[in-house]
Chain A
Amino acid sequence: MNSAAISPVDPTPTDWRGEVMQRRIKKRYAAERRFKTLGIGSVLLSASFLAFLLFVMVGNGLRGFTQTELPLDLDFPALTGGASASQFEGPNAEANLKSLGVQEIVDAGIDIQYGENSELFSAGAWKAVRSAILQNPNIVEQKTTLTLPVESEIDVAYKSDGSKAAEQIVAKFDNELSTGFNWNFLSNSDATDPMQVGIWGALKGSLITMIITLLMAFPIGVLAALYLEEYAPKNRITDLIEVSINNLAAVPSIIFGLLGLAVFLNIFGLPRSAALVGGLTLALMTMPVIVISGRNAVKSVPPSIREAALGIGASPIQVVFHHVLPLALPGILTGTIIGMARALGETAPLLMIGMRAFIATPPNGVTDPATVLPVQIFLWSDEVNRGFVEKTSAAIIVLLLFLLTMNALAIYLRNRFETRW
């Protein structure tokens, strides 16, 4: 049978070199180039979002680590009525300083140099004087010039654009104003005045919360991963456990906050705003992440290890705890650190259990009212005072640095200890 006769295809051969075909190929190649450009464009666009975000945060935030300062001449012998340096040394120094009334002295000094009601300095400026005296008591016996933090609006105006009144003051004192590192930001807690706020309280709250989360989630997660991967029989309960874990890993974090509110606060009666409740809530959230990564790590240990151990007489428990677990540990740790990093950046569930209170003193225990770094960022972002913008961004820089360190540690652990079988 002649196949050409019944074929619907035009039997004349295609003229590949003809103009029509050449034009068509050109068109197809152009489409290819367009598609490729689109691809690289979207990769670069996504990356530039990240770059822009970091640029904005760092640009705003670096200013938050500095403060604007103005020199103040303090004639201590005249202001204090002749206090001696020896009073402010040794164990009684704090009490003596209290009775001296540093705040009034500084206020008087400001009135003398800059006139009354000048409102140039931060309300916390006297604290800087107090710590200067504690550091070097000799200054109370002489005339001294100290550089002290200025008031928040002037600070904003000096660093960028501020209100008109503040800009005039900046123009007036332009030669005397200087910029110094804001140590208070690292050592203070929340305050109403942006010149006096610090992140130490929130950082300590985060630390305590994370320790509780780790203590709860890590052992439970690892044990559950070992059970599911090594011992679990194929039955209903095992299926139910697996479904629960996969489901919990996908539940929105705010739901865990509702659980914490309903169970830990209302049923168990644990204190509101406490790091304990926050840690427990985040532990429930982190546990599935640890289980899932732990199972993958346990799965990657080759069966030959188990068979060898069983072969020389180890019991199933000994096989797992003496051989499989140590080999899987780097993988488990990597997953744990990633889960902890996620918990460290979490805000919504903690708002539900009341960790959004104004906390001016760092927590000293697991049941003290506490706040954490992301919640502190959220609270500051709500403040109207413009001085808080740079503080919020500075706190974000600190948070991102912590997350970066944790992720870098996870990558290091993975590369350094994980065995490829």
Chain B
Amino acid sequence: MNTTTLLILVIGLGLLGWVVGRAKAARLVAASSSKGSVHSLPNYHGWYVALWGVVPAILFLSIWNIVSPALITDAALTSPAAEALPKDGFTRGSILAEARSIANGDQTKAFNPLSTSMVEPYQAATSYYQTIGMVAALLLVFACGAFAWLKIKPELRARTKIERVTMMTLLLASLIAIVTTIGIFVSLIFESARFFSMVSPIDFLFGTEWNPKAVAGPRGESGFGAIPLFWGTVFIGAIIAMIVAIPLGLMSAIYLTQYAPPTFRAWMKPILEVLAGVPTVVYGYFAALTVAPALRDFAVSIGISNASSESALAAGVVMGIMIIPFVSSMADDSIAAVPSAMRDGSLAMGATKSETIKKVLIPAALPGVVGGVLLAVSRAIGETMIVVMAAGLAANMTANPFSSVTTVTTQIVQLLTGDQEFDSPKTLAAFALGLVLFIVTLLLNLIALRVVKKYREAYE
């Protein structure tokens, strides 16, 4: 019997416990003389029995699943066949791993003849410990369930206990967010530390040559200078994309909030928001298939002969289009937050609408708009698919928008796809790049949120 069936069985028994516990409580209610002499409703007693039955058994099973492989290996090693195994740790380990996967049915044929002899002890040990685990789990379900069932009395505070468990579950669910954040941080730091033990952080952060393919040996220090990647990321995400997104997003927001008739606004706002909902892989394909060739032809026609078919401009423009609704909705929010007295005052002084917007609303809303732009930048530099598909792989340090540049995210994808060994600096470099990306986006977000918050407080 495998773990899944066992789990289903345990949960089924828990359901049975629910029914039995509820029935006993219902009998108690029927037998009681006055209303309210049984503390909790029958349902809570049912849950009480079910949780007592299921939770200890599942805890036991998860611990057993971690512990039992070691026990199985120990048992298999005491068998007579194990004496033929070599003493050398590495070969020994690989033979054991092979025997284990044959015994589990993951593999059919052995490469090492010695592993075949180990299959049988393994199978015997596995079935032995599996049976122990199964019997113990089922015994646990019955024992704990019966204990809880016996405890059902009119004065048992079942509801209070169930509610305490519920509160614990709610708290655990919220803690997952913290665990994830810590997980991201620790895994990035851990892998980056391994990378920086091979490549100096100074070379990585300030080197100007990026060429991980050329790095041959494990101690190759050159070729991991990330400056060209940082420049490419900033060039595409923070310069070209923002040149497209800020004017279009800001003007759209201004027109839609200040000028547009309600029906026009009701139609155009969702249409613009669709731009943010289109998957990035679609934008990437659009950039590579349509925008990039058109821009190259344009560049050639105005006399730039070395224009690349994978240009920073194509990726940046398409990324800018993607960011438009983001900038627009942030600008929308901050303009709406300006007190209407300021706007009305300006209009009452005889300023035209556009003068009011340019001289009163925008300056007043500026911190909010800046915060929104920072958030948009943080989003643009973390964007992956558009640059992977349209920006190219050449790590150039150039300000020519028609040439190809590469970005941090492109290189992460490039380093981690294809065949990889996990200990090479090439693979670990991806985590170092990821760490830089994570810290930069985190800082941008924190600064943006602080700016927006300060500005909100100013008007409250």
Interface residues of A (CB under 8 A from B): 28-29, 31-32, 35-36, 38-43, 45-47, 49-50, 53, 56-57, 60, 219-221, 223-224, 226-228, 231-232, 240-241, 244-248, 250-256, 258-259, 261-263, 266, 284, 287-288, 291, 315-317, 321, 341-342, 344-348, 351-352, 356, 374-375, 377-378, 381, 389, 392-393, 396, 399-400, 403, 407
Q: Judging by beta carbons under 8 Å apart, are B354 and A262 in contact?
A: no
A245 near B177 with CB under 8 A, answer: yes
Q: In this complex, what residue of B is CB-closest to A377? A: B281
Q: Which of A42, A287, A288, A345 contacts B251 (CB 8 A)?
A: A42
Once A and B bind, how many residue pairs between them come within 8 Å at the CB atom? 241
User: Which of B173, B290, B321, B449 is the one whose CB lies under 8 Å from A46?
Assistant: B321
Q: Which residues of A sit under 8 angstroms from B252, Cβ to Cβ?
A: 39, 42-43, 46
Judging by beta carbons under 8 Å apart, are B166 and A317 in contact? yes
Q: State whether B271 touches A47 (Cβ < 8 A).
A: yes
CA distance A297 to B274 in the complex (A): 23
**B277 interface residue (CB < 8 Å to A):** yes
Chain B contacts for A347, CB-based, 8 A: 279-281, 384-385
Q: Is B347 an interface residue (CB 8 A)?
A: no
Candidates B178, B328, B388; contact of A244 at CB < 8 Å: B178
Contact check: which of B272, B325, B434 meets A254 at CB < 8 Å?
A: B434
A46 to B272 CA separation, bound complex (whole angstroms): 7
Select which of B285, B352, B416 is within 8 A of A31 by beta carbon. B352
Among the stretches B5-13, B127-135, B305-313, B375-383, the one at the interface with A is B375-383
Name which of B268, B274, B409 has the most chain A CB atoms within 10 A of its CB.
Answer: B274
Judged by a CB distance under 8 angstroms, whether B188 is at the interface is yes
Q: List 15 A-B contacts (CB under 8 A).
A: A29-B352, A31-B355, A45-B248, A46-B321, A50-B275, A53-B282, A57-B286, A231-B167, A241-B175, A244-B181, A246-B449, A345-B280, A347-B281, A378-B385, A399-B282
> What B residues does A341 contact at CB under 8 A?
277
B352 near A32 with CB under 8 A, answer: yes
Check if A258 sits within 8 Å of B187, measured CB to CB: yes
14 new A-B contacts, CB < 8 A, other than A226-B170, A266-B422, A393-B285, are A29-B352, A40-B259, A42-B251, A43-B256, A43-B268, A227-B173, A250-B378, A254-B412, A258-B431, A287-B176, A348-B409, A351-B417, A396-B285, A399-B282
| Minimum C-beta distance from B28 to chain A (A) | 20
A345 touches B279 (CB 8 A): yes
B339 nearest CB across to chain A (Å): 22
Please, how many angstroms separate the alpha-carbon atoms of A279 and B54 in the complex?
A: 26
Given known A47-B272, A50-B271, A347-B280, contact A240–B178 (CB-CB < 8 A): yes
B404 interface contact, C-beta 8 A: no
Chain A residues in 8 Å Cβ range of B188: 255, 258, 262
Closest A residue by C-beta to B328:
A46
Residues of chain B contacted by A316 (CB below 8 angstroms): 163
Residues of B within 8 A of A253 (CB): 382, 384
Q: When chains A and B are docked, how far (Å) is the Cα of A54 from the Cα of B181?
A: 37
Given the known interface contacts A50-B275, A287-B176, the answer about A43 and B255 at a Cβ–Cβ threshold of 8 Å is yes
Query: Across the two chains, which residue of chain A brings its CB closest to B162?
Result: A317
Q: Given known contacts A346-B279, A348-B384, is B248 in contact with A255 (CB within 8 Å)?
A: no
Q: How far is the CA of A255 from the CA of B328 in the complex (A)?
A: 26
B237-261 Cβ-contact flags toward A at 8 Å (1 or 0): 0000000000111011011101110
Contact B385 A248 (CB under 8 A): no
* CB–CB B180/A248 < 8 A: yes
Chain B residues engaging chain A, CB cutoff 8 angstroms: 159, 163, 166-167, 169-171, 173-178, 180-181, 183-184, 187-188, 190-191, 247-249, 251-252, 254-256, 258-260, 268, 271-272, 274-275, 277-286, 288-290, 321, 324-325, 328, 352-355, 357-358, 375, 378-379, 381-385, 388-389, 409, 412-413, 416-417, 422, 430-431, 434, 437-438, 441-442, 445, 449
Knowing A49-B321, A53-B286, A57-B286 are in contact, say whether A351-B413 is a contact too (CB < 8 A). yes
Contact of B441 among A47, A252, A258 (CB under 8 A): A252
List A contacts of B173 (CB < 8 A): 219-221, 223-224, 227
In whole angstroms, how far apart are the Cα atoms of A407 and B270 in the complex? 11
CA distance A284 to B290 in the complex (A): 34
- The smallest beta-carbon distance between B309 and chain A, in angstroms, is 14
Are B174's CB and A252's CB within 8 A? Answer: no
Are B375 and A250 in touch, CB under 8 angstroms?
yes
Q: How far is the CA of A36 from the CA of B356 in the complex (A)?
A: 13
Ordered nearest first, which 4 A-B pairs have the shortest CB separation?
A: A252-B382, A345-B279, A39-B255, A223-B173
Q: Which residues of B contact A345 (CB under 8 A)?
A: 277-282
A245 and B354 CA atoms in complex are apart in Å by 39
Residues from chain B with Cβ under 8 Å of A246 in the complex: 445, 449
Chain A, residue nearest B170 (CB): A227
> Do B183 and A223 touch across chains, with their CB atoms under 8 A apart?
no
List residues of chain B with CB within 8 A of the CB of A244. Answer: 177-178, 180-181
Closest-by-CB residue of A relative to B321 is: A49
Chain B neighbourhood of A288, CB < 8 A: 177
Q: A290 to B140: give the CA distance in the assembly, Å.
A: 36
**Chain A: CB-nearest residue to B389:** A381
A31's nearest neighbour on chain B, judged by CB, is B354
Q: In the complex, which residues of chain B have a beta carbon less than 8 angstroms from the beta carbon of A57?
A: 282, 286
Q: How far is the CB of A226 from chain B (nearest CB, A)?
A: 6
Contact: B416 with A223, CB < 8 Å? no
Contact status A241-B184, CB under 8 Å: no
Is there contact, CB below 8 Å, between A39 and B254?
yes
C-alpha gap A263/B384 in the complex (Å): 21
> How close is B426's CB to chain A, nearest CB, in angstroms?
14
Contacts of A43 in B (CB 8 A): 251-252, 255-256, 260, 268, 272
Enumerate chain B residues within 8 angstroms of A258, measured Cβ to Cβ. Answer: 184, 187-188, 412, 416, 430-431, 434
> CA of A346 to CA of B281 in the docked complex: distance in angstroms?
8
Question: Which A residues are in CB contact (< 8 Å) with B183?
Answer: 259, 263
Contact indicator A315/B159 (Cβ below 8 Å): yes
Q: Contact check, B285 vs A381: say whether CB atoms are below 8 A apart.
A: yes
CB proximity of A236 to chain B, nearest CB, Å:
11
Known: A47-B271, A347-B280, A347-B384. A352 touches B352 (CB 8 A): no
- Contact partner of A317 (CB less than 8 A), chosen from B167, B175, B248, B434, is B167
Most A Cβ at <10 Å: residue of B176, B272, B358, B409: B176
Does the CB pair A46–B248 fall under 8 Å?
Answer: yes
- Expressed in whole angstroms, the Cα–Cα distance for A84 and B346 within the complex equals 92
Q: A221 to chain B: which residues have CB within 8 Å?
A: 173
Given the interface pairs A35-B354, A252-B437, A262-B187, the reply to whether A224 lies near B282 with Cβ below 8 Å is no
Q: A231-B170, A262-B187, A381-B285 are contacts. A254–B159 as well, Cβ < 8 Å?
A: no
Scoring B255, B324, B382, B445 by chain A CB atoms within 10 A of each residue's CB, the highest score goes to B255
With A42-B255, A46-B324, A255-B437 given, is the CB distance from A53 to B278 under 8 Å? yes
A345, chain B: closest CB distance, angstroms? 3
Distance in angstroms from A284 CB to nearest chain B CB is 5
